[in-house]
C-alpha cells in the first residue's frame, strides 16, 4: 500500500517536472508523513471539493430550478455552477435570457427548447441524453409537453460573461409582475413610444404574467398567452410568426411579445433557414473506452461544435459495482461531476501528494476536481456507479493515468525510475506490470460497501427528481 501510494506521489511529482530524487521517500518517512496528513485531513474539511447543497433559484408549483454554486477556490480557473431544472408535465419555463451560458443535459423526460441563434428562432426537441447549448444573452424557453412525464434537466451555468449579480441573472421578457419583466423598469411613456402602442394596451401586456417563471400550460389551466403558444405545433408557431413578420397582423395583440423582443425585426428572411445547431445525444455514442468493469464517453468540440463556443466538454462514466477509475490527472481542465446513480467514493490528491478529499458520494452530489489534481472514483460494491459531468475545456481531455496498463509509469520505465524508488529494474518491472487492466479497474478492496443505511439522507435535489432517477426505463 505504502509503495503504491509513493508511486502515485512520484508520478505526480514527475508530472510537475521536479527531479526524481526529491520524490523518493523511505517507507518509514512515508508512513510518518502519511499519518500527519491523515491527522490534518481530519481537522480540515473533508469535503473540500464536494460542492455544497443546491439552493432553489426559481420555484413555482409547475416546477423549480435549483443551483449548486461553484466553489470559491482560487485554483479553479473557470468556475461553473450546476443547475437542476425540474418541470411538471405540461409546463413552460417562460422566455428569458441569462447573463450566463448554459449546457442542458436531459436527464429524464422530453423537452422543446426554443432559442434564438443569430436572429433565428429555432425550436429543438430534446430527449433523454440530449445535450444542448444556450449562449449567454440568447432568449430561450423550455417547454415540457409531456402529459404524464416530468422533465428533469441538469445544466452547467457558465458565469464567465455574467455581471456577478448573485448566481446568475435572468431577464424575463414576457411582461408581468411575477416575474418582473425587464421592460417594467422603463416609464410607460417610453415604452408606449418605443412600441408605438397606447399606454393602456401596454399595461394590459405588462400585467399579464403573474404565475412565476415556470407556468402550467395544460388546457385545464386558465388560458394564457403561454398556453396558446405551447399548444401550437411548431409549424403553426412558425407560420404565426411569419404572418407577423410579413405584416399580416390579425393576431398581433396576442403575439406582440414576439415583436417586443425584436427577435425577427432584423433579417426577417432568415428565420426559416434553420442553420442553428442541433442537440447531441450522449447515449447514442459508443463509449470511448469499455471493458468488463465499465465504460466512459467524452464529448468535445469535434463531436458537438457548440461546445467550442462555450469552452466546455462533457463526459459520462458508468462503473460496475466495485470497480474504480484508475488514478488519473486532467492536465487540461477542471472537472465537475454529478452522481446520477449509485454510490461511490471520490479520492482527490493535491499536486504535492497529500490527500485533499476522500468522500463517499451519492445520487445528486456534485464534486469538483481542479486541473492537475490526481483523483479516482470508486463504485460501491452494491451497485453500478454512474456519473456525468462537465470539463472546463472543449478540447480532447487526454487524462493521464497514473496506474494501470496504460499508466504514465510505463512510459517512464527507466533505470532512473527504479533508482528513484531504490529497487532493481526487475522489481520495478514486476510492480508496474502487475495490473493488467487499464482505465477502469476491478477494485474489491477499495470499494466502499453499499450505503443502504444512508438512504434517508437523500438530498433535496433527488427528492425533487422523484424516486425514478434510473435512466432508460421508459
Ligand atoms: C404607429 O402606428 C400607427 C398606426 O397605429 C402608424 O400609422 C404609424 O406609422 C406607426 N408609427 C411608427 C413609427 O411605426
Ligand atoms: C450502467 O451499467 C449498469 C450495469 O453495470 C447498467 O445496468 C446500466 O443500465 C448502465 N447505465 C447506462 C446509462 O447505460
Ligand atoms: C499540500 O498542498 C496543500 C494545498 O496547497 C496544502 O494545504 C498542504 O499543506 C500541502 N502539504 C504538504 C505536506 O506540503
In terms of pTM, does the model score above 0.85?
A: no
Task: Give the ligand at the shortest distance from the Cα of 194.
Answer: 1
pLDDT of residue 28: 44
Q: Is the dihedral of CA 214, 220, 223, 227 positive or negative?
A: positive
| Maximum alpha-carbon separation in the chain | 89
> How remote is the CA of residue 285 from the centroid of ligand 2, in Å?
14
Identical fold, 55-271 and 282-469: yes
pLDDT of residue 26: 39
Nearest CA to ligand 2 atom 11: 318
Best residue for ligand 3 mutational test, from 29, 32, 354 (most atoms within 8 Å of Cβ):
354
- On whether the CB atoms of residues 63 and 109 are closer than 8 A, the answer is no
pLDDT of residue 260: 45
E-strand stretches of 7-70: 55-60, 63-68
Rounded to 5 degrees, what are φ and ψ at 93?
A: -90, 110
H helices of 233-370, in order, are 234-245, 252-260, 306-310
In angstroms, the CA 5 to CA 349 distance is 11
pLDDT of residue 272: 47
pLDDT 10s digit of each residue in the chain, 474 long?
A: 344 444 444 444 333 333 222 233 334 444 444 444 433 344 345 567 888 888 898 999 999 999 998 876 667 778 899 999 999 999 989 878 888 999 999 999 999 998 877 766 778 899 999 999 999 888 888 999 888 999 999 999 998 877 776 777 887 765 566 777 777 777 888 878 877 878 887 776 666 667 788 988 887 776 666 677 667 777 666 555 454 444 443 333 444 444 444 443 333 334 445 677 889 999 988 999 999 999 999 999 999 999 998 899 999 999 999 999 999 999 899 999 999 999 999 999 988 888 999 999 999 999 999 999 999 999 999 999 999 999 999 998 888 888 888 888 877 777 787 888 788 888 888 888 888 888 898 876 777 877 544 443 333 333 333 333 222 222
> How remote is the CA of residue 197 from the centroid of ligand 1, in Å?
8
Distances in whole angstroms, Cα of residue 342 to Cα of each of 53, 317, 336 = 18, 12, 17
pLDDT of residue 45: 52
Question: Is ligand 2 within 6 A of the CB of residue 471?
Answer: yes
> How remote is the CA of residue 470 from the centroid of ligand 2, in Å?
9
Question: Is ligand 2 within 6 A of the CB of residue 386?
Answer: yes
> How remote is the CA of residue 287 from the centroid of ligand 2, in Å?
12
Q: Which atom of ligand 3 is nearest to the CA of 75?
A: 5
Please give the helix or strand (H or E) that residue 36 lies within, else none.
helix 27-43
**Virtual torsion, Cα 40, 45, 46, 50, nearest 10 deg:** -150
Task: Give the ligand at the shortest distance from the Cα of 13.
Answer: 3
Give me the residues paired with residue 440 across strands: 325
- On whether the CB atoms of residues 236 and 123 are closer than 8 A, the answer is no
Helices 252-260 and 234-245, axial angle in degrees (round to 10): 80
Nearest CA to ligand 2 atom 3: 384
Domain covering 282-469, topology: Jelly Rolls (2.60.120)
Question: Is ligand 2 within 6 A of the CB of residue 384?
Answer: yes
All three cell numbers of 203, joined, read 399595461
- On whether the CB atoms of residues 336 and 388 are closer than 8 A, the answer is no
pLDDT of residue 142: 92
DSSP helix/strand/coil, 343: coil
Question: Is ligand 2 within 6 A of the CB of residue 382?
Answer: no
> How remote is the CA of residue 201 from the centroid of ligand 1, in Å?
14
E-strand stretches of 208-288: 214-216, 280-281
Cβ neighbours of residue 273 closer than 8 Å, sequence gap 6 or more:
120
pLDDT of residue 323: 94
Task: Give the ligand at the shortest distance from the Cα of 41.
Answer: 3
- Count of Cβ atoms closer than 10 Å to residue 372 Cβ: 18
> How remote is the CA of residue 383 from the centroid of ligand 2, in Å?
10
pLDDT of residue 223: 65
Task: Give the ligand at the shortest distance from the Cα of 25.
Answer: 3
> How remote is the CA of residue 215 from the centroid of ligand 3, in Å?
49
All three cell numbers of 347, joined, read 479520492
Question: Is ligand 2 within 6 A of the CB of residue 320?
Answer: yes
Best residue for ligand 2 mutational test, from 318, 324, 379 (most atoms within 8 Å of Cβ):
318
Best residue for ligand 2 mutational test, from 377, 380, 386 (most atoms within 8 Å of Cβ):
386
> Which residue bears the cell 456519473?
387
N-terminal to C-terminal alpha carbon distance within the chain: 44
* Residues within 6 Å of ligand 3 by CB: 350, 352, 354
> How remote is the CA of residue 359 from the centroid of ligand 3, in Å?
18
- Rounded to the nearest 5 degrees, what angle is found at the Cα of 80, between the Cα atoms of 76 and 81? 130
Q: Which atom of ligand 2 is nearest to the CA of 386?
A: 1
Cβ neighbours of residue 402 closer than 8 Å, sequence gap 6 or more:
7, 8, 11, 12, 326, 327, 328, 329, 374, 408, 409
Task: Give the ligand at the shortest distance from the Cα of 75.
Answer: 3
Give me the residue spans of the domains in the chain: 55-271, 282-469
Task: Give the ligand at the shortest distance from the Cα of 49.
Answer: 3
Question: Is ligand 2 within 6 A of the CB of residue 291?
Answer: no
> How remote is the CA of residue 356 from the centroid of ligand 3, in Å?
9
pLDDT of residue 392: 92
> How remote is the CA of residue 196 from the centroid of ligand 1, in Å?
6
Cβ neighbours of residue 25 closer than 8 Å, sequence gap 6 or more:
6, 9, 33
Q: Domain 55-271 classified CATH 2.60.120.10?
A: yes
**In three state form, how does the secondary structure of 160-203 look?**
HHCCCCCCCCEEECCCEECCEEHHHHCCHHHHHHHHCCCHHHHH
Helices 188-195 and 252-260, axial angle in degrees (round to 10): 100
Task: Give the ligand at the shortest distance from the Cα of 249.
Answer: 1
> How remote is the CA of residue 292 from the centroid of ligand 2, in Å?
12
- Note if the bond before 179 is cis, omega within 30 degrees: yes
Amino acid at each position: 500500500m505504502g509503495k503504491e501510494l509513493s508511486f502515485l506521489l512520484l508520478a505526480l511529482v514527475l508530472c510537475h517536472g521536479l527531479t526524481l530524487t526529491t520524490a523518493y521517500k523511505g517507507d518509514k518517512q512515508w508512513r510518518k508523513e502519511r499519518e500527519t496528513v491523515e491527522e490534518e485531513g481530519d481537522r480540515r474539511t473533508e469535503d473540500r471539493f464536494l460542492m455544497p447543497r443546491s439552493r432553489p433559484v426559481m420555484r413555482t408549483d409547475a416546477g423549480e430550478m435549483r443551483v449548486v454554486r461553484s466553489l470559491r477556490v482560487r485554483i479553479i480557473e473557470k468556475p461553473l455552477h450546476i443547475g437542476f431544472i425540474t418541470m411538471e408535465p405540461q409546463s413552460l419555463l417562460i422566455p428569458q435570457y441569462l447573463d450566463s451560458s448554459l449546457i442542458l443535459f436531459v436527464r429524464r423526460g422530453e423537452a422543446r427548447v426554443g432559442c434564438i441563434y443569430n436572429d433565428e428562432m429555432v425550436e429543438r426537441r430534446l430527449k433523454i441524453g440530449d445535450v444542448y447549448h444556450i449562449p449567454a444573452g440568447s432568449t430561450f424557453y423550455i417547454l415540457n409537453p409531456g402529459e404524464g412525464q416530468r422533465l428533469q434537466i441538469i445544466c452547467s451555468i457558465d458565469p464567465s460573461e455574467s455581471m456577478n449579480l448573485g448566481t446568475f441573472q435572468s431577464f424575463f421578457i414576457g411582461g408581468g409582475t411575477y416575474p418582473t419583466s425587464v421592460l417594467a423598469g422603463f416609464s410607460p411613456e417610453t415604452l408606449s413610444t418605443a412600441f408605438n402602442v397606447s399606454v393602456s394596451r401596454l399595461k394590459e401586456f405588462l400585467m399579464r404574467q403573474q404565475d412565476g417563471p415556470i407556468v402550467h400550460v395544460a388546457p385545464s389551466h386558465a388560458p394564457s398567452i403561454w398556453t396558446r403558444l405551447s399548444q401550437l405545433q411548431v409549424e403553426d408557431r412558425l407560420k404565426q410568426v411569419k404572418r407577423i413578420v410579413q405584416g399580416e397582423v390579425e393576431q398581433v395583440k396576442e403575439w406582440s411579445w414576439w415583436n417586443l423582443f425584436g427577435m425577427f425585426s432584423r433579417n426577417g428572411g432568415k428565420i426559416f433557414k434553420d442553420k442553428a445547431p442541433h442537440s447531441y445525444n450522449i447515449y447514442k455514442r459508443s463509449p470511448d473506452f469499455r471493458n468488463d468493469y465499465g465504460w466512459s464517453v467524452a464529448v468535445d468540440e469535434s463531436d458537438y461544435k457548440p461546445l467550442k463556443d462555450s469552452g466546455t466538454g462533457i463526459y459520462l462514466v458508468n462503473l460496475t459495482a466495485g470497480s474504480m477509475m484508475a488514478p488519473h490527472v486532467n492536465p487540461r481542465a477542471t472537472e465537475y461531476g454529478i452522481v446520477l446513480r449509485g454510490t461511490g467514493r471520490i479520492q482527490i490528491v493535491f499536486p504535492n501528494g497529500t490527500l485533499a478529499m476522500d468522500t463517499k458520494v451519492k445520487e445528486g452530489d456534485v464534486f469538483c476536481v481542479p486541473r492537475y489534481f490526481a483523483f479516482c472514483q470508486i463504485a460501491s460494491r452494491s451497485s453500478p456507479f454512474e456519473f456525468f459531468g462537465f470539463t472546463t475545456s472543449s478540447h480532447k481531455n487526454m487524462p493521464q493515468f497514473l496506474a494501470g496498463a496504460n499508466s504514465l509509469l510505463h512510459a517512464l520505465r527507466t533505470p532512473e525510475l527504479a533508482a528513484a524508488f531504490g529497487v532493481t529494474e526487475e522489481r520495478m518491472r514486476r510492480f508496474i506490470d502487475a495490473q493488467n487492466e487499464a482505465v477502469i479497474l476491478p477494485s474489491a478492496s477499495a470499494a466502499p460497501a453499499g450505503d443502504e443505511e444512508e438512504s434517508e439522507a437523500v438530498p433535496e435535489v433527488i427528492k425533487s427528481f422523484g424516486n425514478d432517477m434510473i435512466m432508460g426505463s421508459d
